[in-house]
Amino acid sequence: MFTNGKLTALRTGNALSALGRFCRVLLLLFLAQHFIAGHAYSREIERQHNILIIKSGNATVYDKVINAIEHYFILYCESHPDICTEVDTTSSIPTNLKPEWSKHSDLIITLGSKAAKFTRDHGVTNKTIHAMIPMLPDKKSNISDRLFQETDTIYLNQPLERNLRLAKLSTGGGKRIGILVHKNNRPSESILRKSENKLGITITLAEAVNSRELGSKLGKLLESSDVLLALPDANIHNRKTISNILTSTYRKQVPVVGFSAAYVKAGAISAVHSTPDDIARHIVDVSASHLSTKTNLIKGPKYPKYFSVSVNRKVARSLGIKLPSETHLRDQISTGKTP
């Protein structure tokens, strides 16, 4: 009986020991499952990004850019689920922002100079992208501080060489390019000479001190120009002067290459510019580099990566110019080809 009892006790002890081990395994599996689920949840949270877009005003163009940004973020997250599953964008003008506006954003995007200055004045520079920033031809920035040199900045202006290529392409190889400039916004000589050598052109500048000089300076410039290239300088090209400039050039049968779709509509034969969609694509490209790393990237200012070409065929035909398609012109500029 003792022996049987001993054996029974041993069997019972073994069973309890096995049961204990089984329970411990279940507990470990339970904890592991919740740990994995928790880790996956935290990773999911990490891939959800809050982006604040600050616009300089209520102009329609800002809303078009914002809508395109949201569209391209959706496409980016769909193709990069390891980096982002969802991007929540909020947009506002500076005066409507709450006091804690900068605390809950993974990335801040500003549109226009006023919005950029607002973030600077509030000491916000980390994880910030400034876009739609105008740049005068002879300056790296139209704000005299280091704001745009130390953050990701996308200029609104096209690089000078891009404009010069279009001027030559639009005129079938016109080599004498005239540019009317304000005395304070003259492009640097080194850039001009480099462009001349690279593109096989001759650039002639005519400086105007004030609006009263525009007529005489323009008339003399047109005598030695195959095409007039307009650069974005409000001292020269504005609502009061554009009509007279276009009329004078048309009388002289000299085509104008502008810097915006509006200028083309007014009478320039072509222009290279970035549309709201182009701007948004570039912004999302730069944003992706920030979202894909935890380090704070500093890359400095850059010209628009994407651009479009607009043409006015009616004006071109009246000047005896046969323009290629807008797509062809854009592709020629992108590949660096000129006649």
Assess if CATH 3.40.50.2300 describes domain 160-269+312-334. Answer: yes
**Region(s) of the chain under CATH 3.40.50.2300:** 46-156+276-302, 160-269+312-334
Q: What is the mean pLDDT of residues 54-81?
A: 96
| Contacts made by residues 214-220, CB under 8 angstroms, sequence distance 24+ | 214/180, 214/241, 214/244, 214/245, 215/244, 215/248, 217/180, 218/180, 218/245, 218/248, 218/249, 219/248, 219/252
Helix (H, G, I), strand (E, B) or coil at 279: helix
Among 96-105, 211-220, 322-331, which is the least confidently predicted range? Answer: 96-105
Identify the H or E element spanning 334: helix 326-334
CATH of 46-156+276-302, one of 3.30.70.141, 3.90.1150.10, 3.30.230.70, 3.40.50.2300: 3.40.50.2300
Average pLDDT over residues 139-165: 77
Model confidence over 216-240: pLDDT tens digits? 999 999 999 999 999 999 999 999 9
Pairing relation of β-strands 176-182 and 128-133? unpaired
Highest average pLDDT, of 36-45, 121-130, 161-170, 187-196, comes from 161-170
Res 296: pLDDT: 60
Q: What is the mean pLDDT of residues 7-24?
A: 53
Overall pTM > 0.85:
no
